């Protein structure tokens, strides 16, 4: 049974710097079947004796608490979220929570060609799929998996089943796939794809990888502006990308530049890990335990109060540009 909002307090998700949080990134598993060289180069390693991932009921309670506090958009992420056998039930359950208007999915796309119609039926309103290269060999080299053709078929299928736009994520890296920048632009010329270049973030699993391959998003922004692309306005539930459009292109380009100084000023998102910890920032904190308050419907009020007080401690910005690495082991544990 869903508890009416008025019975459980009226805290909205606003922090000490008047930022509103409309957007939750909810990781539902750490597990992944890819081995992206910037994320899980050695593949997913299960940790012995660690708590299992959130159950369907726990996930639904997270969604209800956030929705009651003003969250309108939930992104299901991971690890690879579609590896969960109950993925469709999870998507459906989150989509049915009162107040949730958008259920987005971030996926590596390995099941997309087969399952995207079911995702749509379950209530997934938008799909982001990671494609780090348009060259099958480079795709294999970066992801450790030879599934380029399946992922491409998945994108075509998404349009067939009625998605009007697909977002594609790519981590553009120096001396690996950065020479494909123009090819990616050409690819979206006549396709309604928002191509999003994510700047490589340093994690604990990287040794010299970051120094060798990090490419500043600022360089890409300058290239786009010089080629007639224009920066668009953001909406309240938009993600962190700076989005550019061009009159000659059907697609759009998004740049995600976490090292940029003002990246945090427009922060509108919180994260919950697959084991039930609230993360106020992608970088540098341990997370606040929520799982003990996800065990029954009656706990929703206390859960909301814990989330609200934690949010008041959210820092104004991360300190990456001042040399604080804020390093996490990898982003698969928190959904990127
Ligand atoms: N497995 C799904 C996928 O790959 O789309 C969802 C989880 S993945 C952690 C989410 C996003 O984070 C992906 O687009 C991935 O490219 C990005 N990501 C992972 N590690 C990263 C890193 N070190 N720097 C930048 N982006 C990263
Ligand atoms: Fe898996 Fe996504 Fe990480 Fe690649 S980026 S290893 S697909 S979680």
Q: pTM to 2 decimals?
A: 0.93
Q: Report the separation in Å between the CA atom of 9 and the middle of ligand 2, taken as the mean of its atom positions.
A: 38
Please tell me the total number of residues recorded for the chain in this structure. 336
CB of 133 closer than 8 Å to CB of 139: yes
Contact 108 CB / ligand 1 (< 6 Å): yes
Query: For atom 1 of ligand 1, which residue has the closest CA?
Result: 80
77 confidence band (pLDDT: 50, 70, 90): very high
Q: Which ligand is nearest to the CA of 131?
A: 1
Contact 335 CB / ligand 1 (< 6 Å): yes
Least confidently predicted of 51-55, 212-216, 330-334: 330-334
- Listed in sequence order, the residues at least 6 apart from 114 whose beta carbon sits closer than 8 Å to its beta carbon are none
Comparing C-alpha atoms, which of 84, 79, 146, 94 is closest to residue 115?
84
8 confidence band (pLDDT: 50, 70, 90): very low
Residue 191 scores a pLDDT above 80: yes
> Of 109-123, 207-221, 249-263, 273-287, which one has max mean pLDDT?
109-123
C-alpha count within 13 angstroms, C-beta hemisphere, residue 135: 11
- Spatial distance between the Cα atoms of 49 and 28, rounded to a whole number of angstroms: 18
Mean pLDDT across the chain: 90
Helix or strand run (H / E) with residue 56: helix 56-68
Contact 28 CB / ligand 2 (< 6 Å): no
Place of tokens 């490419």: 215
C-alpha dihedral over 19, 70, 255, 272, to 10 degrees? 100
Say what the pLDDT of residue 335 is: 66
Domains delineated in the chain:
23-167+264-333 (3.20.20.70)
């Amino acid at each position: 049974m869903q508890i009416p909002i008025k019975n459980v307090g009226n805290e909205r998700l606003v922090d000490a710097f008047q930022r509103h949080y409309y957007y939750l990134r909810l990781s539902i598993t750490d597990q992944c079947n890819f081995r992206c060289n910037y994320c899980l180069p050695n593949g997913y390693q299960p940790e012995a004796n660690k708590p299992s991932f959130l159950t369907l009921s726990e996930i639904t309670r997270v969604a209800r608490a956030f929705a009651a506090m003003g969250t309108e958009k939930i992104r299901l992420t991971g690890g690879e979220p579609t590896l969960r056998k109950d993925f469709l039930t999870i998507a459906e359950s989150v989509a049915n929570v009162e107040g949730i208007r958008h259920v987005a999915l971030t996926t590596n796309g390995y099941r997309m060609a087969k399952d995207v119609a079911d995702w749509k039926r379950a209530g997934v309103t938008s799909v982001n799929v990671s494609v780090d290269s348009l060259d099958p060999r480079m795709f294999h080299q970066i992801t450790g998996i030879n599934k380029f053709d399946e992922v491409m078929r998945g994108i075509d299928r998404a349009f067939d089943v009625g998605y009007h736009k697909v977002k594609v994520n790519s981590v553009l890296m120096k001396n690996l796939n950065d020479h494909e920048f123009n090819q990616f632009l050409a690819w979206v010329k006549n396709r309604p794809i928002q191509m999003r270049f994510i700047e490589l973030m340093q994690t604990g699993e990287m040794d010299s990888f970051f120094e060798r391959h990090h490419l500043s998003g600022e360089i890409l922004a300058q290239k786009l502006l010089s080629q007639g692309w224009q920066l668009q306005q953001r909406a309240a539930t938009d993600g962190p990308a700076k989005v550019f459009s061009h009159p000659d292109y059907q697609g759009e380009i998004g740049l995600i530049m976490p090292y940029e100084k003002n990246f945090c000023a427009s922060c509108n998102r919180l994260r919950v890990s697959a084991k039930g910890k609230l993360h106020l920032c992608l970088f540098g904190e341990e997370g606040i335990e929520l799982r003990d308050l996800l065990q029954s419907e009656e706990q929703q009020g206390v859960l909301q109060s814990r989330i609200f007080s934690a949010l008041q401690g959210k820092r104004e910005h991360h300190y990456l540009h001042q040399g604080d690495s804020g390093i996490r082991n990898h982003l698969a544990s928190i959904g990127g």
